[in-house]
Amino acid sequence: MQRLIGHTKADTTEIYLRRLNKERAMESVRDLSWGLPPFGAFVEKAPTRIELVCEALQASA
């Protein structure tokens, strides 16, 4: 494997292989939801500066 990738040190190849193994392990659990909505449902869009100015103007009116 080391020669195929072109690494001169076996340590470097081991680092790449460990990372590949972690990524493969995460693929099996990535889509599990445990009954919860997708993560994107929890993420709120931050207000823009224009929205903040409009809110401030409405509050002062």
Q: Over the stretch 49-59, which tens digit does the pLDDT of each residue have? A: 777 788 888 88
Torsion angle of alpha carbons 17, 19, 23, 26, nearest 10°? 120
Q: How far apart are CA 18 and CA 24, in angstroms?
A: 10
Residue with tokens 């224009």: 50
Q: How far apart are CA 40 and CA 26, in angstroms?
A: 18
Structure tokens at 5: 């990738």
SS3 category, 60? helix
Q: Do residues 52 and 45 touch, judged by C-beta distance below 8 A? A: no
Whether the predicted model's global pTM rises above the 0.75 cut: no
Residues 11-38 have pLDDT tens digits of 888 888 888 878 777 777 766 666 666 6
